[in-house]
Chains A and B, each alone.
Chain A
């Protein structure tokens, strides 16, 4: 069975390689989004990982931990760079509120769904139970723009207004997800324990802010002088790894810490464009590597996971639909948008995968592998489902 599965993956990867190599080769419609998001790299990681070829064995994965820290740092920084206040202000405030509300409602709905469903399938202690529910619901709250990017140009021209809102929401709604996910790390033992719970949290938060500001200052010192591109790349690589390391030592999330640094840099630093160029320059390779790493940790040891992932998708789908509906009904300014806005917010994209990877690195438990598999399956389901529902939303809106 394992050999047959491995052969299927190899054939699939060969097909992917053929597609990459010979661009004139037309892909079937259902596979277009699949390739655009680089999902084949997930399967590549799966094939290379301990399940099959074992080239990325556990020892190697451990040795490559700094690369993992770099990936998390890079994605965190990039996400932080999306929150340039001056740029966000160009859009109506209602858009921002809509993005936060939609993502928060999705989070709440998925959190309760997952919280009550998880004990039916797994035996987990209470603290881990909350942590897992928070992680899964934070991952569910994020939205990607891949489906929007794939739309035909004439279709895009007809629905500019709705697509504008969808684009905005999908670029912003990861914020609440990420901040909620940051809370997961409060369940680790804080560095300054000994006061009251609130005292510990407050001290920890202040401390983490001071450290992050120190790191931002260090970045600014490095970027202040003129440096060529390779030097800047080195600085960003070293700083991303260093920030991730500091975060792990002090019990913060490396992803959130780097996000905060990125957010400060884009709003405080004068040479941010050059830095952003470096970050975006290898955005795709970073994302693909993340997929390979996660693929290596993928463990499909039970068929139940397929059903559980479908249930998780259902929760998310309900959350997005409800969130989208409430956004268009509660805010009069947005009432002209279609009520099924959530149909256009199903693609999950890279941030949930980064959240998942951060969780895998920082908070391991007995069912980590199953949780990873569950989310990866859900991402794939959503990638198939997303484009069709988006098209349906736009046709209905018309």
Chain B
């Protein structure tokens, strides 16, 4: 009873405060911004406002037992350029760098959350999940689009060849997941156990695998659309080198972090901030070099480097728990910032354009995920509860998929615009629904510590 009244009081406080802060924000927004300093002030104010609003909304949702990150994302969507326009495209672009640093932090956490011992124990189910999720989800989405693609208004004008190429690319992007969302929800729920470790292992591994798969898909699409019929070995070589290099660099960094914790220890968050900054910057440099020398644009290395670094600290040093505690201490501001901005970047306009196609694709993708996870669990003799519910953990999708869509748009201008629109809309749905189902499944299998 006391808890109920406390919740009610909190709810009223949050709603009232949110209302007052929003009114204040609206008033400030209507002031004339003459100088660049005022405009910079508006950007800072917007960031502070979105963080507070996201936090309050998440607390309101928490009372309704919904995940906190859904609150952050929803505030981002509402504040973003497609709804209220409080956060403009320009602002989001300016926050991009902070966003990159936040993503590097999350990737460090993702790597650190993987325990080699657990992964070895769950090797079979992880490999099966990766294999089946890739094949079945790709197969379902590909087949759906090949047979139904011409019936939707957005893609009606595409030729049958273009539809096949389109289906290949959408199919591969549908395989992509969102490790950042997974990490945030696991961290929020303080979840641990075989189910959680499996989901995390699969999600992180697929984030790596998707780069290779997408490179293959690009080549296949190029062949289908009548471009170069040759498989460009140089590109594969470059991608493999980049990934191997990223892992190696990450392992070295991981060793560096554990050395720092061993020898110095203090101000670890600041050290990690510098590290995240350095990784982002060096990766951008590497990215532009890749584009100049190999004519491919990939911006996925910081994630791999940081994941590998986190994994090394956790599994090849004695400082893993201290490292994770340090990351956990600063995780909340990072998550709020990252997911609010992610929400603001979600393309509501794209969803309005092709909502029916998006809904169908989302349903087909979920069906594919269900079949794949059920089959993998049954073969590996996992508990039936896991097999029935595992699909709920794999719905979230975010940044990587957007990056892949943009790459495809640059590569195939003819179908690229449609592809980006569909993928952005699909991500919108998955990122709103995914966290809710993920939190629910962690509760269902009994691995969430906070209910």
> A63 contacts B44, CB within 8 Å?
no
How long is the Cα–Cα vector from A191 to B37 in the complex, in angstroms? 13
B52 near A235 with CB under 8 A, answer: yes
Q: A64-B98, A230-B331 are in contact. Are A245 and B52 (CB under 8 A)?
A: no
The answer to whether B10 touches A225, judged by C-beta atoms less than 8 angstroms apart, is: yes
Interface string of A206-219 (1 = CB under 8 A from B): 00000000100010
Task: Evaluate contact between A66 and B263: CB separation under 8 angstroms.
Answer: no
Contacts of A280 in B (CB 8 A): none
Interface pair B267/A239, CB less than 8 Å apart: no
Contact B52 A231 (CB under 8 A): no
Are A20 and B264 within 8 A (Cβ)? yes
Q: A66, A242, A285: which contacts B270 (Cβ < 8 A)? A: A285
Known: A245-B46, A285-B270. A229 touches B329 (CB 8 A): yes
Known: A67-B98, A234-B55. A249 touches B332 (CB 8 A): no
Q: With A214-B24, A218-B17 in contact, is A248–B52 under 8 Å at CB? A: no
Whether B44 pairs with A189 at a CB distance below 8 angstroms is no
> Is the pair A242, B49 in contact by a Cβ cutoff of 8 Å?
yes
Tell me whether A284 and B24 are in contact (CB under 8 A): no
Known A60-B97, A67-B98, A237-B51: A245·B43 in contact at CB below 8 Å: yes
Q: Which residue from chain A places its CB closest to the CB of B38 in the assembled complex?
A: A249
Q: Which residue of A lies closest to B331 (CB)?
A: A230
B94 touches A241 (CB 8 A): no
Q: Does B42 contact A (CB under 8 A)?
A: yes
A231 touches B37 (CB 8 A): no
Interface size on B, residues (CB 8 A): 46
A125 CA to B309 CA in the complex, in Å?
53
Residues of B within 8 A of A234 (CB): 51, 55, 332-333, 336
Within 8 A of A (CB), among B257-282: 263-264, 267, 269-270, 273, 278, 281
For residue A246, CB closer than 8 A to chain B, the reply is yes
Whether a CB of chain A sits under 8 angstroms from the CB of B13 is: yes
Give the residue of B31, B98, B330, B331 whose beta carbon is less than 8 angstroms from that of A66: B98
Contacts of B94 in A (CB 8 A): 62-63, 65
The answer to whether B264 touches A21 (Cβ under 8 A) is: yes
Q: Are B17 and A248 in contact (CB under 8 A)?
A: no
**Residues of A contacting B17 in the complex (Cβ-Cβ under 8 angstroms):** 218, 221-222
Main secondary structure of the interface of B (DSSP, over half): helix
1/0 contact string of B119-142 vs chain A (CB within 8 Å): 000000000000000000000000
- The answer to whether B44 touches A244 (Cβ under 8 A) is yes
Interface-central residue, B20, B48, B94, B269, by most chain A CB under 10 Å: B48
- Is B97 touching A64 in the complex (CB atoms < 8 A)? yes
Shortest beta-carbon distance from A39 to chain B in Å: 16
For B270, the closest partner residue in chain A by CB is: A285
Q: Is B148 an interface residue (CB 8 A)?
A: no
What separation, in Å, do the CA atoms of A245 and B20 have in the docked complex? 17
Please pick, from A188, A218, A241, the residue contacting B51 in the complex, using a CB distance under 8 A: A241
B143 within 8 A of A: no
B3 part of interface (Cβ distance < 8 Å)? no
Q: Beta-carbon contacts of A286-303 to B below 8 Å, as 1s and 0s?
A: 001100000000000000
B40 interface residue (CB < 8 Å to A): yes
Q: A63-B94, A231-B332, A238-B55 are in contact. Are A248 and B264 (CB under 8 A)?
A: no
Instruction: State A63–B215 Cα separation when bound (angstroms).
Output: 31
Contacts of A288 in B (CB 8 A): 267, 270
Q: How far is the CB of B6 from chain A (nearest CB, A)?
A: 9
B52-107 interface (Cβ within 8 A of A): 52, 55, 94-98
Residues of A within 8 A of B152 (CB): none
Residues of B within 8 A of A189 (CB): 34-35
With contact pairs A245-B48, A249-B28 given, residues A284 and B267 touching in the complex (Cβ less than 8 Å):
yes
Given contacts A225-B13, A241-B51, A242-B49, A55 and B281 within 8 Å (CB-CB) = yes
Interface residues of B (CB under 8 A from A): 10, 13, 17, 20-21, 24, 28, 31, 33-35, 37-38, 40-49, 51-52, 55, 94-98, 263-264, 267, 269-270, 273, 278, 281, 328-333, 336
| Subset of 23 A-B contacts with CB under 8 Å | A63-B95, A63-B97, A63-B98, A65-B40, A214-B24, A218-B17, A230-B333, A237-B51, A238-B51, A238-B52, A241-B48, A243-B48, A245-B45, A245-B49, A247-B41, A248-B37, A248-B40, A248-B44, A249-B33, A249-B45, A254-B41, A282-B270, A284-B267
14 other A-B residue contacts (CB within 8 Å) besides A66-B44, A234-B55, A235-B55: A20-B264, A21-B264, A60-B97, A63-B95, A65-B94, A189-B34, A221-B13, A225-B10, A234-B336, A238-B48, A242-B48, A242-B52, A245-B41, A249-B38
